[in-house]
Amino acid sequence: MQSQRVEGKPHPVPKTIAYLGNRDRAISRLEASDYSAKDKLLSQVRAATPSVGKNHSKRGRPKQNPPA
Q: How far apart are CA 46 and CA 60, in angstroms?
A: 18
Residue 66, pLDDT score: 67
Q: Which residues contact 62 (CB under 8 A, 6 or more apart)?
A: 55, 56
Residue 63, pLDDT score: 64
By DSSP bridging, strand 9-13 and strand 2-6 are antiparallel
Long-range contacts of 48-53 (CB under 8 A, 24+ apart): 49/23, 51/23
pLDDT along the chain (68 residues), means of 10: 79 77 83 87 79 55 65
- Tell me the three state secondary structure of residue 51: coil
Residue 49, pLDDT score: 66
